Structure 1
């Protein structure tokens, strides 16, 4: 009879430990997803800056032409701004991203990683949208 509470407590501890390990594994997978979204567009950072310069150069050339097309000039300047914002967005995200869990519980880490996945996905989308727009406007 004395051993029943001991076994009950022991079983409960094992159950809690098993659940905690599952959450830790899920968090590891979630962190890998966050990094994968980041890694998909990180190699394109140099391309963003090159296209930004090309857009500004083309806008300047149009500005100095005999018949400047102000709408096209504005469109190119807006593109350059969008490319720059996409570039800066990646670095803003990277500066605030925390690779260490610290004193957070596995549940707190999950919430943090869910938020980070949303943020880095937005950065990813912004970069892809800026690159797609640049491809259209700078194709000639």
Structure 2
């Protein structure tokens, strides 16, 4: 009788352990975190873009050099717009739970996330490049 009680307790323990849900992070959650990390890296640069646009705007005129300032300003404004458009599109495609809480994605949304990952990488290059070019132009002003 004593042996069967031990066996029953052992089997019961195995059943409980088997029912215990292992909480794994979905693969898309890792990818979404990487996408959002790039977003978080770029957001503070929006203020820098605004400041640079203001500086370039004051220097813009009809001279050749003034037109270089204008082109740099337009480049920055396009980078800023690209960021705003990307964020809107991300918000249109994914809900808060998917973006911030790691909610599992449908197959279609996983494809979209792959696209968004590529887009945010291009966006990063556009923003960083426009800032770098504007700063270099301003450093060389006479």
Question: What's the TM-score, normalizing by structure 1?
Answer: 0.70
Query: Which whole-Å CA distance do the structure 2 matches of 1:104 and 1:54 have between them?
Result: 43
Match of 2:45 in 1: 44
| Deviation at residue 71 of structure 1 after TM alignment | 1.9
Match of 1:130 in 2: 130
Task: Point out 4+ residue stretches in structure 1 off by more than 4 angstroms.
Answer: 101-104
Matches within 5 A, 1:1-140: 25-60=26-61, 63=62, 70-98=63-91, 99-100=94-95, 101=98, 105=106, 107-139=107-139, 140=141
Query: Which whole-Å CA distance do the structure 2 matches of 1:108 and 1:135 have between them?
Result: 40
Query: Which whole-Å CA distance do the structure 1 matches of 2:109 and 2:30 have between them?
Result: 12
Residues 1:104 and 1:36: Cα distance change in structure 2 (over 3 Å): closer
Question: What's the TM-score, normalizing by structure 2?
Answer: 0.69
Query: Which whole-Å CA distance do the structure 1 matches of 2:109 and 2:85 have between them?
Result: 20
Query: Which whole-Å CA distance do the structure 2 matches of 1:115 and 1:27 have between them?
Result: 13
CA contact (8 A) 1:59 1:76 kept: yes
Unaligned runs of 5+ in 2: 1-22
Query: Which whole-Å CA distance do the structure 2 matches of 1:78 and 1:26 have between them?
Result: 42
| Deviation at residue 109 of structure 1 after TM alignment | 2.7
User: When the two structures are aligned, how many residues end up with a matched partner?
Assistant: 111
Larger Rg: 2
Residues 1:124 and 1:84: Cα distance change in structure 2 (over 3 Å): same
| Deviation at residue 26 of structure 1 after TM alignment | 0.8
